[in-house]
């Protein structure tokens, strides 16, 4: 139904309802960031991610949410090793993952925000040994309170270079 098909009184009600909804949203977003972050910290991670889709203000709240989780297997799990382009696809996805992590950590570092908790689960280190050093430096300089670092169990990250 388009606005053109509504009567004048229906349009007034719709505008009033929309305005009321915007005010309700503003009440929540007017809370201090640390309270919003506390609320988000009690939600499942999937729901926390989805809040970034609500509005630009929620996206900014999500960008400054001090609990960070980076799992490279999420970006690489869909790649089948038997595929001909698996190496190229894995390399591209790894680069995208690395750039995403850098941008999130640099935002905290640039704004001098504290990271409350940072979780890394990295399965493929061969694509990022220098980047991992940078990640850990940025996390450390952001006064991380809890660092959960999970690395592959197999031998050296340089095993292919022997």
Q: What is the pLDDT of residues 95-116, one digit of tens each?
A: 888 888 899 999 999 999 999 9
Higher-scoring residue by pLDDT: 36, 45:
36
Query: Is 81 within a domain?
Result: no
Max mean pLDDT range (22-26, 92-96, 109-113): 109-113
**Predicted pLDDT of residue 162:** 43
Number of domains in the chain: 1
Q: With the C-alpha atoms ordered 32, 36, 37, 41, is the resulting torsion angle positive or negative?
A: positive
Query: Is 159 within a domain?
Result: no
State the pLDDT confidence band at 4, using cuts at 50, 70 and 90.
low
pLDDT at 127 over 50: yes
**Predicted pLDDT of residue 117:** 92
DSSP for the chain, please give it.
--GGGS-HHHHHHHHHHHHHHHHHHHHHHTS-HHHHHHHHHTS-HHHHHHHTTT-HHHHHHHHT-SEEEEEHHHHHTT--TTSTTHHHHHHHHHHHHHHHHHHHHHHHHHTTPPPSEEEEE-S--TT-HHHHHHHHHHHHHTT-SEEEEE--SSS-TTGGG-
Query: Is 11 within a domain?
Result: no
Query: Is 10 within a domain?
Result: no
Q: How many CB atoms lie within 10 A of CB 31?
A: 13
Higher-scoring residue by pLDDT: 149, 5:
149
Query: Is 70 within a domain?
Result: yes
Query: Is 156 within a domain?
Result: no
pLDDT at 45 over 70: yes
Q: What is the mean pLDDT of residues 120-138?
A: 79
Query: Is 161 within a domain?
Result: no
Q: Which domain holds residue 47?
A: 29-75+86-150
Query: Is 143 within a domain?
Result: yes
**Predicted pLDDT of residue 39:** 85
**Predicted pLDDT of residue 86:** 53
pTM equals: 0.64
């Amino acid at each position: 139904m388009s606005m053109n098909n509504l009567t004048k009184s229906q349009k007034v009600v719709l505008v009033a309802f929309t305005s009321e909804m915007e005010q309700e949203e503003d009440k929540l977003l007017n809370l201090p960031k640390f309270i919003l972050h506390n609320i988000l910290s009690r939600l499942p991670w999937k729901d926390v991610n989805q809040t970034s889709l609500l509005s630009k203000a929620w996206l900014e709240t999500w960008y400054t949410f001090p609990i960070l989780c980076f799992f490279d297997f999420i970006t690489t799990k869909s790649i089948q090793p038997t595929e001909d382009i698996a190496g190229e696809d894995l390399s591209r996805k790894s680069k995208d993952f690395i750039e995403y992590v850098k941008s999130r950590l640099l935002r905290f570092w640039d704004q001098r925000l504290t990271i409350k908790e940072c979780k890394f689960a990295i399965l493929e280190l061969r694509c990022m040994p220098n980047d991992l050093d940078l990640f850990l430096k940025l996390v450390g300089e952001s006064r991380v309170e809890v660092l959960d670092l999970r690395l592959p169990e197999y031998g050296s990250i340089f095993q292919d270079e022997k």
